[in-house]
Amino acid sequence: MTTTTLAENFNQIGIIGRLESRSVEQSVLRLLQLLQQHNKQYCIEQSLADAMDVLDCPARDRQSLGQWADLIVVVGGDGTFLGAARDVARYEVPMLGINRGRLGFLTDIMPSEMETGLADVFRGEFQLEDRFLLQAKIIRNGDVVAQDCALNDVVLHPGQSIRMIEFDLFIDDQFVYSQKSDGLIVSTPTGSTAYALSAGGPLMHPNMHALVLVPMFPHSLNNRPIVVGAQAQLCIRIGHKNTLPPHVSLDAQNHLELAHGDELHISKYPQTVKLIHLKGHNYFETCRTKLGWGNRIENLERESDQ
């Protein structure tokens, strides 16, 4: 399906946001005006509607919004987008982010671009990326006792303990190593610019179909990040020597608690997030801007003009 054909189906627009500042409220109100001008039906998530009592429009919870909408517009920062993506990923509805946060790797449309950006999207002039998620399951005595998904990363960490944790890692039923460390970050390409990056992991282009496993302060200096295919089945067995059971964090927002002897299974989530960028979006330009990479060519041109 072409982007033009896909855009023709953008008739019911769901709006998700977290009211953290006056700027978010202003962007939501402006967004509603623009959707009215484009003759689109729209519905706002219930929690945002409750926080903005000036609104007079239909509201639904996120699950219902995911089922109803042809397009989801997220107003906020990357954290807001992560939470929204996890909640509606099963419906595979395209998602567009209006940046009211700091970095904006996912919500990369600035408020000043909203008017022209929406017009371009409704004309089908946009780029569409499929971003895969991770599914984490905790297995206890052969039964699944907890599960959740993550777009950025699944992180095994000590929780309230300050001691290192011990665990065994298996990939596709093959033993990899026993490790003693502060934990392990399992990241998608989307999450490679987040926590995994700060722990020394590599940047992975969003088009890559791979996972990176980044040890957190391992006791052995020989432990290094490992990159595996996205279809890999990971199993982390929690040792009985840990003082306190470790925890699992998903996108640093949702948390699961492990018990001694549990297994943490991590695999690719069945559905993907369909992320919309404006035409001309450049991943490396985003990295230069957000991560402070040097603009060497621009500097050389500036020096030659002097």
Catalytic machinery residues: 78
Nearest to 190 by CA among 292, 273, 276, 255: 273
- Phi, psi angles (nearest 5°) of residue 81: -65, -40
> Is there a contact between 279 and 108 (Cβ–Cβ < 8 Å)?
no
Secondary structure class of 245 (helix, strand, coil): coil
> Is there a contact between 148 and 254 (Cβ–Cβ < 8 Å)?
yes
Tokens representing 302 are: 């500036």
Is residue 161 packed enough to be buried (19+ CB in 10 Å), middle (13-18) or exposed (0-12)? Answer: middle
DSSP-assigned letters across all residues of 215-240: EES-SSTT---EEEETT--EEEEEPT
CA distance 61 to 10: 20
- 87: which residues sit within 8 A by CB, 6+ positions away? 62, 63, 66
